[in-house]
Amino acid sequence: RSTSGAEHESARARVAGAERGWRRGGKCGAAGIRCVAYNNQSNRLAVSRTDGTVEIYNLSANYFQEKFFPGHESRATEALCWAAGQRLFSAGLNGEIIEYDLQALNVKYAMDAFGGPIWSMTASPSGSQLLVGCEDGSVKLFQITPDKIQFERNFDRQKSRILSLSWHPSGTHIAAGSIDYISVFDVKSGSTIHKMIVDRQYMGVSKRKCIVWGVAFLSDGTVISVDSAGKVQFWDSATGTLVKSHLIANADVQSIAVADQEDSFVVGTAEGTIFHFQLLPVTSNSNEKQWVRTKPFQHHTHDVRTVAHSPTALISGGTDTHLVIRPLMEKVEVKNYDAALRKITFPHRRLISCSKKRQLLLFQFTHHLELWRLGSTVATGKNGDTLPLSKNADHLLHLKTKGPENIICSSISPCGNWIAYSTASRFFLCRLNYEHDNISLKRVSKMPAFLRSALQILFSEDSTKLFVASNQGSLHIVQLLEGSFKHLHAFQPLSGTVEAMCLLAVSPDGSWLAASGTSAGVRVYNVKQLKLHCTVPAYNFPVTALAIAPDTNNLVIAHSDQQVFEYSIPDKQYTEWSRTVQKQGFHHLWLQRDTPITHISFHPKRPMHILLHDAYMFCIIDKSLPLPSDKTLLYNPLPPMNESDVVRRRTAHAFKISKIYKPLLFLDLLDERTLVAVERPLDDIIAQLPPPIKKKKFGT
């Protein structure tokens, strides 16, 4: 009798490894957010983190993280901006301006600005020029050429480091915020027009220098500055005088972003609050307008280092690793679930792989991999019990990567004998040997030239073949032999732009390989004959998870708008069940889930079951049961035992959802009777964060 997943004697493997990993300082897929940049044309958000990773979120595809550029130890990004349409630039403390290639998913080039560490960067309103503010006080102008950037000239050099920059919308003037003062430059001549001294403290004296964290230049000549004393100040750039001063926080105000229409802006403070300022008329029918602080939002616990203002939402990110997107109710036209707050905390891709035969889990961190053996229990109990472990989870291996680059992807073979992982420039393949309780690792030294950087790695079910999706778009099949390997075939990339990171899936019998990521749709290759078999019709939302079922060879695809398709590979068409689901549509609560499905798996003996999970729930779809209509309850907990069979049958539907384990990082079937689930409690993440601002509460 199947009920919501509780039939499996789920060993609640709350892997103690996840907890211990945090104390060592390694975070599985979480680093603080340093900068965000919003691109209006494509409705995409570029987010850079403190470990150097730059992620691209597609805000119209249900806020899905479609691409990312792996970080580098020396690349501490301090500024990020879009320029010339769709080109992404970042600058950091190593003094280099980096351009990212959004098609090849790597760094195009890094150009040294020769001014020391770069603190701020902004693009001109026309998009053809780039301005950087450096440590030595110089403001440098670069011309953006079709394939590179070229240094044009320096502006007047200032005494202290330039921490923030802003162009006037007409492109004639620039405001630069430094320590204790703000300068206004004329772009044509490069000379300072005004130098406006900022008070160190609002109506007071202070020894600490006032750092101007952000400036914004409006088209009427007003310069808005936010500084470390907690003030938001309005300056008149024509006369160089202070117009208005607001004290909004007891701590630093660290970021500012102005809307395109210049009628609202948002600032973020170190206390985790963001404030929305709007330009409102003084009285209801007067022409005179003034800036009023309208809404505070407290969605963060730590410093909000960066904010962005899209036409309909306020976006903020900070040290507490959450990305918060708050749609503004007055700007949203249709008041549906789209207008709800979105908080992106968990990674949108799978960072854990599992070896079912040996019960091992491989965790991918930024600079190292950890291999854990699951604990076991001999006790038995009823459904819903938590059983004590008789043998604890074992930390088998801590594999540190060489070099400063972050790990992009990793995988362990199902038999547990091979581990493969890749950084941006190197590919590593290691062989594991097990003797009794000991484990030894041997690295395969000679890697072929074409295997440099992989976006996705997958082992076949029998662990004889390795599938690698390289960042040039090609797919490589490598045959694994005893101590070495042999390159079998390379599938060249088809035409089509790269939409998202490549995802791979292989059928358990080893004959089919599915790959997603381009605008052409999911491609299915015949591994035995080494040719392209078919292409699933393209869908306008990116794929978040892929898997091929064991006997039926049905390809199950999950998209970022929470649609799930089932495509039969031998028949080259969607299955009956998939067509039925599409006709009826999914339950509205299913479509309103926040987090994307990151993993799909199957039960070896039950072909009618599909097991999938996202961050807050896991679900077993039973294809033999009827689909729920919009009126029925989607999350139906176990009905009490004394209910009649009829009632139970009436409320039973195909989607068996369980929310007992959350937040889920990974869930898979180990064998017929065991599930492994890896949770990542938010408290553990918060425990590793840097210190927040002190809040004084009455009574504590």
Partner 1 sequence: MVQLRPRASRAPASAEAMVDEGQPASEEEAEHGLLLGQPSSGAAAEPLEEDEEGDDEFDDEAPEELTFASAQAEAREEERRVRETVRRDKTLLKEKRKRREELFIEQKKRKLLPDTILEKLTTASQKCNLIFLVNLQKKNEDCEKGSGSKKVKVQKVQSISQNKSYVALRLKDQDLRDSRQQAAQAFIHNSLYGPGTNRTTVNKFLSLANKRLPVKKAAAQFLNNAWGTQKKQNAKKFKRRWMLRRMKTPKK
DSSP 8-state code for residue 201: B
Positions in 136-175 near partner 1 (CB under 8 A): 161
Which H/E stretch holds residue 55?
strand 54-58
DSSP 8-state code for residue 199: P
| 208 near partner 1, judged by CB under 8 A | yes
Interacting stretch for partner 1, rule CB under 8 A, among 509-517, 621-629, 667-675, 689-697?
689-697
- What is the token pair recorded at 572? 């080259």
| Shortest separation between residue 215's beta carbon and partner 1, angstroms | 17
Binds partner 1 (CB under 8 A): choice among 253, 270, 534, 610: 270
Binds partner 1 (CB under 8 A): choice among 452, 533, 603, 606: 452
Amino acid found at 675: L
| Shortest separation between residue 94's beta carbon and partner 1, angstroms | 6
Enumerate residues 6+ apart whose C-beta is below 8 A from 145: none
Q: For 602-606, which contacts have Cβ atoms below 8 Å and span 24 or more sequence positions?
A: 602/547, 602/549, 602/550, 602/669, 603/669, 603/672, 604/550, 604/669, 604/672, 605/672
DSSP 8-state code for residue 179: B
Positions in 247-266 near partner 1 (CB under 8 A): 250-252
| 110 near partner 1, judged by CB under 8 A | yes
Binds partner 1 (CB under 8 A): choice among 21, 327, 375, 692: 692
Provide the 3-class DSSP secondary structure of residue 133. strand
Length of the chain: 700
From CA 442, how far away is CA 430, in angstroms rounded?
6
| 490 near partner 1, judged by CB under 8 A | no
- Which residue matches tokens 């306008």? 540
Provide the 3-class DSSP secondary structure of residue 20. helix
From CA 316, how far away is CA 343, in angstroms rounded?
10
| Shortest separation between residue 338's beta carbon and partner 1, angstroms | 31
- 305 or 559: CB nearest partner 1: 305
- 93 or 340: CB nearest partner 1: 93
Binds partner 1 (CB under 8 A): choice among 141, 279, 634, 693: 693
| 318 near partner 1, judged by CB under 8 A | no
| 303 near partner 1, judged by CB under 8 A | yes
| 402 near partner 1, judged by CB under 8 A | no
| Shortest separation between residue 85's beta carbon and partner 1, angstroms | 22
| Shortest separation between residue 251's beta carbon and partner 1, angstroms | 6
| Shortest separation between residue 590's beta carbon and partner 1, angstroms | 33
| 94 near partner 1, judged by CB under 8 A | yes
Positions in 211-230 near partner 1 (CB under 8 A): 211, 228
| 107 near partner 1, judged by CB under 8 A | yes
Which H/E stretch holds residue 131?
strand 129-134
Q: Which residues of 491-530 are buried (b: 16+ CB within 10 A; e: fewer)?
A: bebeeeebbbbbbbbbbbeebbbbbbbbebbbbbbebeee
Site size with partner 1, rule: CB under 8 A: 49
Burial degree of 14 (CB within 10 A; 0-12, 13-18, 19+): middle
| Shortest separation between residue 500's beta carbon and partner 1, angstroms | 21
- 498 or 506: CB nearest partner 1: 498
- 54 or 352: CB nearest partner 1: 54
Binds partner 1 (CB under 8 A): choice among 60, 245, 301, 464: 301
Binds partner 1 (CB under 8 A): choice among 159, 443, 649, 695: 695
Of 458, 446, 449, 452, residue with least CA distance to 420: 458
From CA 209, how far away is CA 201, in angstroms rounded?
9
Binds partner 1 (CB under 8 A): choice among 135, 156, 199, 262: 135
Positions in 62-81 near partner 1 (CB under 8 A): 74, 76
| 481 near partner 1, judged by CB under 8 A | no
Interacting stretch for partner 1, rule CB under 8 A, among 207-215, 331-339, 360-368, 579-587?
207-215
- 5 or 133: CB nearest partner 1: 133
| Shortest separation between residue 508's beta carbon and partner 1, angstroms | 34
From CA 208, how far away is CA 201, in angstroms rounded?
9
- 270 or 548: CB nearest partner 1: 270
- 245 or 250: CB nearest partner 1: 250
Distances in Å between the alpha carbon of 252 and those of 20, 226, 269, 307, 389? 33, 8, 6, 14, 48
Q: 5's torsion region: left (phi>0), alpha (psi -120 to 50) or beta? A: left
| 324 near partner 1, judged by CB under 8 A | no
Asked if 147 contacts 191 with a C-beta cutoff of 8 angstroms, the reply is no
Binds partner 1 (CB under 8 A): choice among 203, 379, 449, 641: 449
Distances in Å between the alpha carbon of 74 and those of 52, 106, 339, 406? 8, 16, 39, 11
Q: Helix H segments across 171-318?
A: none
| 15 near partner 1, judged by CB under 8 A | no
Binds partner 1 (CB under 8 A): choice among 7, 109, 289, 290: 109
Binds partner 1 (CB under 8 A): choice among 9, 117, 193, 398: 117
Residues that bind partner 1 (CB under 8 A): 23, 74, 76, 93-95, 104, 106-112, 116-117, 119, 135, 161, 207-208, 211, 228, 250-252, 270, 301, 303, 424-425, 446, 449-450, 452-453, 683, 686-687, 689-695, 697, 699-700
